[in-house]
């Protein structure tokens, strides 16, 4: 049976939405943390001298959206900006101790939830194929965007 591309697109979007909602609900109920904050906090934690531009690149969001997210995370006391000595127009972003603690706890919950929703329902082989397929499709989209 051949899969219709439009139906596949719809299923993929519904899967993303449903997965997002389940993971977001778990992070919010267990940690009071929005998934929309969790992802930028992950980027900030792993990127030395993280800038808003790094958040933009990692999450495929706009500069305005990333800047507003960082503003909100900073206002909540989970990150701080510090001056970039090489470029006064930008700043570096670091997690505060409170932010690091929250991210560590939320990361464990996030990992358990994603494992439950993605890895456990699939055999190890199918999970690896799924991961490779997603990476391949994202890479192709990025290449085609650059070629425009």
Which contiguous run of DSSP H or E holds residue 82?
strand 79-83
Can you give the pLDDT at residue 143? 81
pLDDT (average), residues 74-88? 93
CA atoms of 66 and 83, how far apart (whole Å): 18
Can you give the pLDDT at residue 142? 84
Residue 82 covered by a domain: yes
Residue 91 covered by a domain: yes
Residue 135 covered by a domain: no
- Model confidence, pTM: 0.86
Residue 103 covered by a domain: yes
Count of domains forming the chain = 1
Q: What is the CATH number of the domain that holds 90?
A: 1.10.10.10
Condensed to tens digits (0 to 9), the pLDDT of residues 28-38 reads 999 999 999 99
Say yes or no to pLDDT of 1 above 70: no
Condensed to tens digits (0 to 9), the pLDDT of residues 16-73 reads 999 999 999 999 999 999 999 999 999 999 999 999 999 999 999 999 999 999 999 9
Say yes or no to pLDDT of 106 above 90: yes
Residue 25 covered by a domain: yes
Percent helix, percent strand, percent coil in the chain, to nearest 5: 70, 5, 20
Can you give the pLDDT at residue 62? 96
Can you give the pLDDT at residue 86? 87
Residue 129 covered by a domain: no
Residue 96 covered by a domain: yes
User: Which residues constitute the domain of residue 98?
Assistant: 10-122
Can you give the pLDDT at residue 124? 95
Residue 83 covered by a domain: yes
CA atoms of 47 and 64, how far apart (whole Å): 19
Condensed to tens digits (0 to 9), the pLDDT of residues 108-147 reads 999 999 999 999 999 999 999 999 999 999 899 888 777 7
Beta carbons of 50 and 69 less than 8 angstroms apart: no
């Amino acid at each position: 049976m051949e899969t219709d591309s439009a139906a596949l697109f719809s299923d993929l979007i519904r899967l993303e939405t449903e997965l997002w909602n389940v993971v977001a609900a778990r992070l919010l109920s267990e940690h009071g943390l929005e998934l929309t904050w969790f992802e930028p906090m992950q980027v900030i934690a792993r990127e030395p001298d993280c800038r808003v531009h790094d958040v933009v690149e990692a999450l495929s969001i706009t500069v305005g959206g990333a800047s507003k997210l960082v503003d909100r995370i900073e206002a909540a006391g989970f990150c701080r900006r510090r001056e970039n000595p090489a470029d006064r127009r930008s700043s570096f972003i670091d997690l505060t101790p409170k932010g690091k603690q929250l991210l560590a706890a939320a990361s464990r919950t996030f990992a358990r939830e994603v494992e439950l929703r993605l890895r456990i329902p699939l055999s190890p082989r199918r999970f690896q194929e799924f991961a490779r397929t997603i990476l391949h499709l994202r890479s192709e989209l990025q290449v085609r965007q650059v070629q425009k």
